[in-house]
Amino acid sequence: MPDNVLTEEMVREMSQLGIIYGHKKSKTHPRMAPFIAGNRNNTEFIDPQIILESLDKAVGFMKEKFKNGGLIIFVGTTPAAKEAVLNISGELGMPYVVSRWLGGTLTNFSVINERLKYYEDLKVKKARGDFAKYTKKEQRQFDEKISKLSKFFDGLANLKKLPDIVFIVDIKVHSTALKEARLLKIPIVAVLDTDDDPDLVEYPIFASDHNKAGIDWMFGRIKKELKSNG
């Protein structure tokens, strides 16, 4: 049976992995009501059929962009999302953010790109041994600068232009990334939990954004589909 057909087994899997479980009912965003199937122990749960349909729609959009050379930046700094983001971006050769979104990454791209070039230049000089002519104190200062910049720029090495898609896990945590993408009208794919506003995202994936096992499952499906283009 195709992966995009909801089965009882898949519903059980989604439940076991925590994909369907959102937040407490008191935190539910009013616009999320149509996507919620009920609640258990005062915790809202999302309709599994809607989860699968929204995931398939988002993946279809991403595949179309990806096969035409589109650039996707994956954003997920929470403990639940970091590993999945690193894994998929590494395998697809895409930029990512897993430490902190640097304000202006999109809206001030030219300046960020210059800082990225500066960082890459420092790494090249260090590898060549160009810093050997400096004092130990100065060498240490260069090392500290490279270490500091690495937290922001290691994931942006492949960001040679503005991305075609911004993929976000948890739009509340990454509100700045969301605002920048919306301002520049860059399509957004995002995992939306029950406390999020679905009107803010063009391609929402309705699912828990705080459950690692569930995020890993979704990213596994996304990665499989995108890689199948190759």
Read off the pLDDT of residues 85-119 as tens digits, 9 standing for 90 and up.
Answer: 999 999 999 999 999 999 999 999 999 999 999 99
Instruction: Tell me if 94 sits within 8 A of 71, measured CB to CB.
Output: yes
Backbone angles phi, psi at 170, to 5 degrees: 85, 90
CATH for the stretch 8-105+162-227: 3.40.50.10490
Whether the pLDDT of residue 230 is over 60: the answer is: no
Q: How far apart are CA 201 and CA 204, in angstroms?
A: 6
Instruction: Tell me if 179 sits within 8 A of 186, measured CB to CB.
Output: no
What angle (nearest 5°) sits at the alpha carbon of residue 22, between those of residues 16 and 24?
125
Average pLDDT over residues 17-21: 93
Instruction: Tell me if 215 sits within 8 A of 84, measured CB to CB.
Output: yes
pLDDT interval class at 38 (50, 70, 90): confident
Percent of the chain whose predicted confidence (pLDDT) is above 90: 78
Which of 112, 78, 108 minimizes the C-alpha distance to 191? 78
Instruction: Tell me if 191 sits within 8 A of 214, measured CB to CB.
Output: no
Q: How far apart are CA 80 and CA 85, in angstroms?
A: 10
Backbone angles phi, psi at 51, to 5 degrees: -60, -50
HSE value, Cβ hemisphere, 13 Å, CA-based, for 111: 7
Distance separating the N- and C-terminal Cα atoms of the chain: 23
Helix (H) or strand (E) holding 62: helix 48-67
Ramachandran category for residue 128: left, alpha or beta (phi over 0 → left; psi -120 to 50 → alpha)? alpha
Q: Classify residue 138 by burial, with Cβ atoms within 10 Å: 0-12, 13-18, 19+.
A: exposed
What are 165-189's pLDDT values in tens digits? 999 999 999 999 999 999 999 999 9
Q: How far apart are CA 32 and CA 26, in angstroms?
A: 12
In sequence order, the β-bridge partners of residue 39 are 44
pLDDT interval class at 2 (50, 70, 90): very low
Distance of CA 105 to the CA centre of its chain: 14
Which of 174, 180, 176 minimizes the C-alpha distance to 193? 174
Query: pLDDT at position 6, please?
Result: 84
Measured on CA atoms in the order 15, 91, 83, 77, is the torsion positive or negative?
A: negative
